[in-house]
Amino acid sequence: MLDQLTGNERVKSLLRKMLQALRVPGAMLFTGEDGIGKKLFALEIAKALNCRAPQGLEGCGQCPACKRIDRFNYPQSDDSEDWKGIIWTDHPDVGMVVAPKRVLLVEQMRLIEREANYRPYEGKARVLLIDDADKLNDSSANALLKVLEEPPHTSHLMLLTSRPGMLLPTIHSRCQMIRFSPVSPQEIETHLLKNKIASGSEARIRARVARGSLGRAIESDFDDYIEERTAMLRVLQALAVSDDRIQLLTSAEEFNDARHKDDYEARLDVLEALIRDAWMLALHAPEESIVNEDLLPELRTISERLDGERPAGWISQIEELREQLLVNINRKSATDALFLTMAAAAPPLGRKRFVPR
Ligand SMILES: [Zn+2]
């Protein structure tokens, strides 16, 4: 049932309308961040179309058909040869292709076309997912166009991507686009608590640093996060409390150790979350609004040295760097520059401010 999925209420209501009108498009493009639920939503449609005991318009989630749709038979090996076929679920009408290496292959699209042209074996509709559709290159995209243009009415092709901009316009124009929005931190936290994935402050922190992605909140390594946060706290302390340039440059170096662009961006997220917390405290916001509540004493010390403008400036400098990252700047010099600009913005406020009681 769509109700059991977290977030994206607007998408749910759109899909319900399509089911109600018996007009689930033959070609759909699901776009939105990784880990946001695109695949789960696509599978819900597959269940709605093939359920043996539908609840209203939707799949029951309990009957054998629904249960089998939940189980993909992923290859056991990492050998890319084994990943070239369609990865079927336990249901013979629902399957998916993924890129065996960096691109989706022409032969995979031919398989999709062939399978889409068969009538359903068991259920009412064939549902074929193409994961990370941004990995289609010109040839494989072209190989898909014909079936995408006019799939048989019992077949539904669902392309999933976090980077819709990478797809050819000819793909876009043949698909009905379904846009997913980031899931709110509250929705993520509730999900983590309800499913006993995390509790207390861990759930709260995971939810708030997941950038709207439920998958990221679930899969992220919390110990790694805590380690990164300790490093970023040192940056903030050097900026706000000790005005220690040497510490800043050492931290910049550690910061650049991030092997992947994603890790690097995750570090920026962590730093930004700490700055926001200190800023909130400087503005006397209630403690419940603090993400890293277990660091309250440290954050308080930092906040006592901040006025409202400095953290605002830091956040906008970080945002600027993020934009530059999109065009592939040199990360190392960018980080050095960021930290030094942040330090230069204004010296820390003098020792503890006098607060009248
Ligand atoms: Zn069912």
Say how far apart CA 260 and CA 262 lie, in whole Å.
Answer: 5
According to DSSP, residue 128 is labeled E
Q: Is residue 87 classed exposed, middle or buried when 0-12, 13-18 and 19+ CB atoms within 10 A define those classes? A: middle
How far, in Å, is the centroid of ligand 1 from the Cα of 49? 9
Q: pLDDT-derived band of residue 223, with 50, 70 and 90 as boundaries?
A: confident
How far, in Å, is the centroid of ligand 1 from the Cα of 68? 10
How far, in Å, is the centroid of ligand 1 from the Cα of 61? 5
Residue-wise pLDDT tens digits, 241-275? 888 888 888 888 888 876 666 778 888 888 998 99
How far, in Å, is the centroid of ligand 1 from the Cα of 295? 47
Report the half-sphere exposure of 9 (CA within 13 A, side-chain side).
2
How far, in Å, is the centroid of ligand 1 from the Cα of 344? 61
Residue-wise pLDDT tens digits, 50-103? 999 999 999 999 999 999 999 999 999 989 999 999 999 999 999 999 999 999
List, as ranges, residues with CB under 5 A of the ion ligand 1: 51, 59-60, 63, 66
Residue-wise pLDDT tens digits, 111-150? 999 999 999 999 999 999 999 999 999 999 999 999 999 9
Ordered strands of the 94-97 beta sheet: 87-88, 94-97, 126-130, 155-161, 27-31, 176-179
How far, in Å, is the centroid of ligand 1 from the Cα of 69? 9
How far, in Å, is the centroid of ligand 1 from the Cα of 55? 8
What token pair was written down for 124?
């009412």
Element (H, E) at 141: helix 138-149
How far, in Å, is the centroid of ligand 1 from the Cα of 112? 25
